[in-house]
Structure 1
Amino acid sequence: MEQRISLITLGVDDLVRARRFYEDGLGWRPHDAPEGVVFYQLPGIAVALFGRADLAEDAHHPVDGRFSGITIAVNQRSEAEVDAVLEQAVAAGATLLKPAERVFWGGYSGYFADPDGHVWEVALNPAWTINEDGTLTM
């Protein structure tokens, strides 16, 4: 398998509420999609919102309500940007899980959960470069 990810799909309980969070709260712009799903183009990857029950049916895997151990990270160029993104997410309705702090691997990061409980890390890794187009170079 080629080493890449092209789409991350988040199962959501309420598609309208989830769209409000990502679009009105975080400022993301949706891409054209069939009814019942929303796509957002990011640099080099896309994120989809899809009903949680529909996703469970499609994947043939029940929703069990436990933290899956998967997080989604959005790296920033400075500590101030990390703080600003966390503040924006909380203002939009996210739950702050961990305020940003300097971490053992030499960076700075914090976590929030979106209204459906998906865990996002917002981080600065000084060893990585965030290019002008938003892509990451390790």
Structure 2
Amino acid sequence: MDPRITLVTLGVSDLAASIRFYRDGLGLPMRDREDDSDVAFFSLDGAWLSLYPRDLLAEDAEVAADDSGFSGITIAHNVSTKKEVDAVLDEAASSGGRVVKPAQETFWGGYSGYFADPDDHRWEVAFPQLTAD
């Protein structure tokens, strides 16, 4: 297997609301799509983010669509400064997401916090302060 991730698909409950959050709120560049399409793609640096209705995604993966709590997956977005961590968390909150863990110093020497998108997918925003040994 070639060790890389090329696409992350999030199952969403309201595609239009999620598009507004990611495109209009967070400013992610969205690929052109037909108005009646069930999927939206966002170009990221080196990968794609896809939004797809949760029930259809569950059907495609042959799993139950009911929400059973934390999925055990988070998505991380690293930035260059602590100020950027705070700014991205503020941007997410003002775009319809919610901060679920305010930014703080971490046990691993960085600075991070978490926000949840409208479907409660958890994103960590981190400044991974690295020091030379």
TM-score normalised by L of structure 1: 0.89
Partners of 2:52 and 2:97 in 1: CA distance: 18
In structure 1, list runs of 5 or more residues that go unmatched: 129-138
1:74 aligns with 2:77: yes
CA-based RMSD of the aligned residues comes to 1.3
Partners of 1:68 and 1:101 in 2: CA distance: 23
Task: Name the residue aligned to 1:132.
Answer: none
Worse-matched range after superposition: 27-36 or 94-103: 27-36
Task: Name the residue aligned to 2:125.
Answer: 122
Question: 49, 61, 64: which is aligned to 2:63?
Answer: 61
Deviations along 1:72-127, whole A, 9 cap, x unmatched?
A: 00000000000000000000111111000000000000001100010000000022
Partners of 2:97 and 2:44 in 1: CA distance: 20
The number of aligned residues is: 128
- Displacement of 1:5 in angstroms is 0.3
Structure 2: which amino acid aligns with 1:48? S
TM-score normalised by L of structure 2: 0.92
Worse-matched range after superposition: 99-108 or 63-72: 63-72
In structure 2, list runs of 5 or more residues that go unmatched: none
Task: Name the residue aligned to 2:41.
Answer: 39
